[in-house]
Structure 1
Amino acid sequence: MDAREWLGLKPTHNPMRWYLPVVPGISAGGAFLFGGCGLGAAIEAMEGSTGRPVIWATAQYLSFARPPDVMDIDVTIASHGRYTTQARAVGHVGDTEILTVNAALGSRPFPERGQWVARPEVPTPGECERREPRRVVAESIMMRLDQRWALRDGRNGRTAVWTRMPDLLGVSASSLAVLGDYVPLGLGELVEAEITSNSLDNTLRVANVVDTEWVLVDIRIDLINHGFGHGTVYLWAEDGTLMATASQSAIIRLWKGD
C-alpha cells in the first residue's frame, strides 16, 4: 500500500477537502492521533490538491483527535507560481482545530546537487536489537512499525533507530513525516526520570527521497529547559542518502502512570 492508504486518508468530491478517520493504528499510546501521522496526512492532502511534491511543511499541534474521531483536512492555496506553490492545510474535528500545516510544494530545474553531511556509522538493522515499546499498548502505531536500536549515546544527546513500515510499498514525504516525529523518543533516552512528552510542532524538510526498506531515524537533542525539549531528526536511507530532516519542540511531563 502507499502512504495515503497506510494513513487511511480519503478524498472528497471537493479537491480541496480530505478526511482522515482517526483509528488506533495511526494513534500514539495515549490513544490520540500521532503527530507525525497528522502531518503526513496534511502533506498527502496538499500534494493531492496541488499535484506538486512537498519541499517543506511545518505543523503546529493545537489539540487532540482521538479514535473514533474523523478529522477533516481543508487545503488552501495561498500562492501558485511557475515552479512553487505555497499552501496550508487545517485539520479539524467539528469546530475544534487539531493542527495547522503550512507548506511549500514544487520542484525546479537546477544542474547542481550535493550532500555535505554523513550518516553516522552504525550497525545494519539485522545486527541491532529490536526496540520494544516501554509501555505495552494493544493497538497503536507501534504495532505497525519494526524498529531496531542503532545508537544510544546519552552523553552527546544522540539516539538512532532503524525503522521500517512493513505494510508500506515505498518511502514518501508523508511517510518520512511520520518517522520524523521522534524527538520525544530522544528526550526519553536522556533524562533520568520517567517522562512522557508530546510535540508542539514538527517541521519536515524534504531533500532526496530514494527507495529504501529501512530508514535510520537519527535523533539529535539540542537542549532541555523550562519543561520543554528541542531537537532535530535526520532521516537516512540505507545507502547513506539524507532524505529529509525534521525539527521539533516538545512538552515534557513526569510520567504519572497508566
Structure 2
Amino acid sequence: MDTDIEFLGLTAGDGPGHFHFTVENHLARLDGLLYGGTAIAVSIATAEALTNRSPLWMTTQFIATAPANERISVHTEVLAPGRRTNQVRVTGTDAAGDIMFASLGATGHHKESGLAGTFDQAPTVSPPERSEPWPNPFVAVVRNAGIEADFSNFPTDLGFNAALDFREPTVEAHPDPGPGRMCVWARRRDQVAITPAIASYVADMVPLSVAHACGVMAGGISLDNTIRIGAFETTEWVLIDLRPHLAVGDYGHGTAHVWSESGALLATASQTSSMMRFSPTDFAAAKPSPGEG
C-alpha cells in the first residue's frame, strides 16, 4: 500500500523487485540501530508491491543490524509464481553488501467463498480512549518486577516510539491467563489505518512479555519475526495481545495476536529473541540499553 511505502521510506531501485530505504529514527530500535519490526514490514510491503497480491505470511531472519542513516538495499523476488499464490524471498543488504535480513513468505488472492473462521478468543480489555498512556515499552515490565526506575528522562521521540502511540488497557478477562500476558493498544501517531506491514512492525514486542513473565528488567534482540495474516479491516488502533511461551538460556519465545478495535483477529505473530538484562540506572541517564529488536 502507498501508506506503507511512505512510512518505510521505500524507493524503487533498478529493475522489478529492487527497492531501497534509509534507517531513519522511526525505523530504528531504542538504541538507534535498525529495528527488526522494520525488516519484516519492509519484506511484506515490497512483496505486496511486486506481486500485487495480499500478504499471507512472512518470516524474517534478522541477521545483522545497521546504524542510523544507513541505506539498505532490498531485493524481492518471486520464487514460485502461481495462479493464486506466490512464494517470495526478500533480502536486505547494507552499503557493503552484507546481509541484514532475509525473509520468506507468500502473497495470494483470497477466494470470496473460501473457508473462513476465527478460532482464538480476544481478551476483554478497556478501549483505547479509556486506557492509560504508555510512555515507553518498559513501564509494565518494571512495575511487574517491583523495580524502582526513573522514566522522567526517557525520550519519547526515540526509535519506533516516535511513530507509535501506546495505551495500556485494563484487562478484564483473558482467554489464556498465565505469566507474562500483556495487552497494549497501539496506533500510528499520524492516525493512518494499520496495514499488514505496519501490524508486523508493531507486533515486534514479544521480548517484553518474556521479561514480564520472568519478573526481570530486560529486552531482547530479534533472531526472527514471523506473522500470519488474516482478513484485514480498517482500524486505527490494534490490540497487541502478547503471550510468552518459554525462556531458556537467555533466549525467549512467544506469540503476539493482533486484534482490531472491533475484536477481529487480524494476524498472529511469533518471535524468538536473545534476551538482555539491564539496569534502571540506564533510564536515569536517558540511555536505555538495547530494547526489543
Q: CA deviation at 1:190?
A: 2.6
SS at match of 2:41: helix
Tell whether the 8 Å contact from 1:151 to 1:161 is kept in structure 2 after alignment.
no
Aligned position for 1:69: 70
Taking every aligned residue pair, what percent have the same amino acid on both sides? 27
1:52-87 Cα distance to aligned partner (Å, 9 max, x none): 111000000000012110110001211001111001
* Deviation sequence 1:33-65 (CA, Å, 0-9, x none): 111111101111111111111100000000001
Aligned residues: 258
* Alignment match, 2:142: none
Partner residue, 1:161:
184
Q: Is the 8 A contact 2:125 2:170 kept in 1?
A: yes
Map of 1:180 onto structure 2: 203
| Counterpart check, 1:140 vs 2:141 | no
Question: Which residue of the partner structure matches residue 290 of structure 2?
Answer: none
Q: Which runs of 5+ in 1 are unaligned?
A: none
1:91 is the counterpart of 2:88:
no
In structure 2, C-alpha distance between the alignment counterparts of 1:166 and 1:160, rounded to whole Å:
19
Tell me if structure 2 keeps the 8 A contact 1:60–1:100.
yes
> Is the contact made by 1:6 and 1:167 (CA closer than 8 Å) also made in structure 2?
no
Q: Superposed, which structure 2 residues align to 1:211-222 within 5 Å?
A: 211-222=234-245
Alpha-carbon distance, 1:26 to partner = 1.1
| Cα displacement (A) at 1:14 | 1.4
Tell me the distance in 2 between the aligned counterparts of 1:120 and 1:155.
13
What is the distance in 2 between the residues matched to 1:168 and 1:67? 25
CA distance in 2, matches of 1:31, 1:124: 31
Determine helix, strand or coil for the equivalent of 2:124.
coil
SS in 1 for 2:220: strand
SS in 1 for 2:125: coil
Distance in 1 between residues matched to 2:86 and 2:64, nearest whole Å: 27
Q: TM-score, normalised by structure 2?
A: 0.83
Aligned residue for 1:184, secondary structure, equals helix
Change (3 A) 1:201 1:80: same
After TM superposition, the structure 1 stretch with the greater mean CA deviation from structure 2, 101-110 or 75-84, is 101-110
Match of 2:121 in 1: 118
CA distance in 2, matches of 1:177, 1:5: 16
Instruction: Provide the aligned C-alpha RMSD in A.
Output: 1.8
Distance 1:21 1:212 in 2: 27
Contact 2:193 2:235 survives alignment (8 Å): yes
Report if aligned partners of 1:2, 1:168 keep a CA contact under 8 Å in 2.
no
Structure 2: any 5+ residue segments left out of the alignment? 139-150, 288-293
